Amino acid sequence: MKIALVNGDGIGREVIPQAVRVLDHYAPDTEYFEVEIGYGKWEKCGIGCDDRDIESLREADSILFGAITTPPDPNYKSVMLKIRKELDLYANLRPVHGEGFNIMVVRENSEGLYSGIEEMGEERSTTLRVVTSKASERIARCACKILLKDFKNGTLTIGNKANVMKSDVLFRDTCIRVADEMGVPYRTAYIDALTFDAIHNPQKYDVIVTTNLFGDILSDALGHLVGGLGMLPSANIGEEHSVFEPVHGSAPDIAGKGIANPIAAIRSAGMLLEHNGIRCHDEIEDAIKNVISSGMRTPDLGGTADTISFCDALINKLE
């Protein structure tokens, strides 16, 4: 297996090396190569991700990606949006699971309000929200396949705001059509009410499919159920390429202190391994639970453990 490592910025440089230790435990013959991408590169050469970087990423079986800093500079182009578009990573998978619930948020990853079609002006700025039947259909099929495979007797929830935005009528109706074709039980829900209810009654939900921005906000909000963004992994999946990254940001306020929570990055590495046919999810989850139950927790979880010590304990549990 050939893995591209993008440490990124801030705490990405601290948690990704710990996630690599988990990859090494399950796939010791893995070949790694690093690709420098992000704000740090932009500071040095004026671009966060160039065409050569994209070509390097194409050579990998999968990519493990750290957090990226996005500065408030109009000349800075989003690195992750570029990678998603260039590698056609159309599905963003964000699992959230805890005691008594297991939710998979399937987020359309290629258009919506993250279309990248924008205009900046002194009096008015605009972002074009793009929803197409093609992208809506393929994300709906992805969500239905996940439900049929991993959520027996589960229900698909189609998150939308079709009562306000006509573009969401297309998304909702396309998802309904696909669910009917695939024999998947479904319900529809407006995204604001859905977010509120999923936080208070997470056990009611299995797979939730929604548009780009809504999926981003919903999955971040659900982090409240499991201890914050430091716990949440994600996968960006396409037909040929895959990127796995923690949901959290680069956290410059704690970068370099060695106290970042590595769990999201470790879980992302687990998703990478599973995607490449190496079964490890249950073992990794058991190890995480055991380490936390022993009292070893990073400061965001109310403890005093540092990043490396936490991973040391987790590797010992896996071994």
How does pLDDT run across 266-291, given as a tens digit for each residue? 999 999 999 999 999 999 999 999 99
Of all residues in the chain, the percent with pLDDT exceeding 70 is 100
Instruction: Summarize pLDDT for 8-33 with one digit per residue, the tens.
Output: 999 999 999 999 999 999 999 999 99
What is the dotted CATH code of the domain comprising 1-89+238-319?
A: 3.40.718.10
DSSP secondary structure, 7-58, as one string: --STTHHHHHHHHHHHHHHH-TT-EEEE---SHHHHHHHS-SS-HHHHHHHH
pLDDT in tens, 295-306: 999 999 999 999
Q: For the chain, how many residues are written?
A: 319
What's the confidence (pLDDT) of residue 274?
97
Q: What is the mean pLDDT of residues 188-217?
A: 98
Q: Which residue type is seen at 101? A: F
Equal fold, 1-89+238-319 vs 90-231: yes
Any bridge partners for residue 227, and if so which? none
Render pLDDT for 212-229 as a digit per residue (tens, 0 to 9). 999 999 999 999 999 999
Alpha helices, H only, 151-278: 166-182, 191-200, 212-222, 263-275
Q: What is the pLDDT of residue 113?
A: 92
Q: Please check whether residue 77 is in contact with residue 48, taking contact to mean a CB–CB distance below 8 angstroms.
A: yes
pLDDT beyond 80 at 187: yes
Per DSSP bridges, beta strands 31-34 and 2-6 are parallel
Inform me whether the pLDDT recorded for 72 exceeds 90: no
pLDDT for 45: 86
- In the prediction, which pLDDT does 40 show? 87
pLDDT score for 120 = 86
* Alpha-carbon span 236 to 272, nearest angstrom: 10
Inter-residue contact 94 to 139 (CB < 8 Å):
no
Answer whether residue 165 shows pLDDT above 90.
yes
The larger pLDDT score, comparing residue 161 to residue 114, is at: 161
pLDDT of 241 over the 90 cut:
yes
Cα(196)–Cα(182) distance, integer angstroms: 28
Q: In the predicted model, is pLDDT for residue 118 greater than 90?
A: no
* 223 vs 287: CA distance, rounded Å: 20
Q: What is the pTM of this model?
A: 0.94
What confidence tens digit (pLDDT) does each residue in 45-57 have?
888 899 999 999 9
Q: What is the identity of the amino acid at 12?
A: G
In this structure, what token pair is assigned to residue 204?
A: 């009611």
- The tokens for 183 are 């024999």
Confidence grade of residue 66 (pLDDT, cut at 50, 70, 90): very high
DSSP bridge pairs for 234: 245
- What 51-59 contacts at long range (C-beta under 8 Å, 24+ apart), as own/partner pairs, is 54/82, 54/83, 54/86, 54/87, 56/4, 57/4, 57/6, 57/83, 57/87, 57/241, 57/243, 58/87, 58/241, 59/2, 59/4, 59/33
Going from N- to C-terminal start, the domains of the chain cover 1-89+238-319, 90-231
With a cut of 80, say whether residue 76 has pLDDT above it. Answer: no
Cα 293 from Cα 99, distance rounded (Å): 14
Please state which CATH number belongs to domain 90-231.
3.40.718.10
